[in-house]
Amino acid sequence: MTDEVGDAKRALRRELRTRRRNMGDAALAESTERLTAHLTTVALELGVKSISAYLSAEHEPNTRPFLNWANGQGIRVLFPITRADGLLDWTLSTDFETETEGLFGLPEPVGEILSPMAINDVDLIVVPAAQIDHTGMRMGWGKGYFDKTLGSMARRPPVYAVVFDSEYVESVPSERHDQPVDGVVTPSGVHTF
C-alpha cells in the first residue's frame, strides 16, 4: 500500500465510522427495512439456494432481518469466521442469537467450522464495505479478508456489497489487490455493475 493511498483510506474509514455512529435510531430503522427489501429482491431474482453473508455489527447496515428471511426460506447461509492467518473459515448457523466475538471484535455466529473452500458452493456473496464507487470498486475496512477470498475464487458467484446511501460514491481510493463487486445494495436501491 502506498503511503498516500493508505493514509487516504485510513482517514476515510475514521470519518465513515464516526458518521455511522452518529446515525439516529429512526434513520437506522428505515434503512434496515429498505435494505432487507432490496436484499430479498436480489436473492429472489438470482434464485439463490445458498448464500454467504456477514452478521452485521451495531453500526453496520443491518443484514440480520434479511438473514432471518433467508433462513425461513430454506436458503443455506454461510457466515465468515476470521482466522489469524488472514483467511476466512465458514460456518453454517440458523441460530443468529448465539454469537461470539471474532478476532476484531465483530460478531460471528457459533457453529461447525468449515474450510475456506466452503464458499465455492454459494450462489451469492454479500459483503460489508466502507464505500463502493460507481464502477463497483469496494473499499473495505482494512483487514483484506474479503479481498483475499474474492481474489482467490476461480468461479465467483455474484458479489453484492451493502452500504448506506452516502457510502455509494463517485470513486474510492484503491490499490491493485482491491476486489470489485458486481453490485451494491443501499437503502435507496440496488445498483449492478
CATH number reported for the structural domain that contains residue 55 in this entry:
3.40.50.10420
| CB contact set of 3 (below 8 Å; sequence gap of 6+) | none
CA triple 7-9-11, angle to 5 deg: 70
How many domains is the chain partitioned into structurally? 1
Which of 118, 143, 133 is CA-nearest to residue 174?
133
61-84 burial code (b ≥16 CB/10 A, e <16): bbbbbbbeebeeeebbbbbbbbee
8's grid cell: 487516504
Single out the residue of 193, 145, 188, 184 nearest to residue 42, CA to CA: 184
So what's the pLDDT on residue 101? 73
Interacting residues of 184 by C-beta distance below 8 A, sequence separation 6+:
129, 132, 136, 160, 161, 162, 163, 168, 190, 191
- Give the pLDDT of the chain (193 residues) as one tens digit per residue: 458 888 888 888 888 888 888 988 888 889 999 999 999 999 999 999 999 999 888 888 999 999 999 999 999 999 998 888 888 889 987 666 677 777 776 777 888 889 888 999 999 999 999 999 999 999 988 777 888 888 888 889 999 999 999 999 999 888 888 899 999 999 999 999 9
pLDDT at 9: 86
Q: Record the pTM.
A: 0.90
Per the CB < 8 A criterion, the answer to whether 98 and 70 are in contact is: no
Residue 60: which domain range?
A: 3-192
Q: What is the pLDDT of residue 1?
A: 47
Selection from 157, 143, 122, 156 nearest residue 52 by Cα: 122
Place of cell 468449515: 114
pLDDT at 94: 65
C-alpha 33/C-alpha 65 separation (Å) is 8
Q: Across the strands, what pairs with 108?
A: 100
Question: Rounded distance, CA 148 to CA 155, Å?
Answer: 14
Cell numbers of 192, please? 449492478
Pairing of strands 124-128, 50-53: parallel
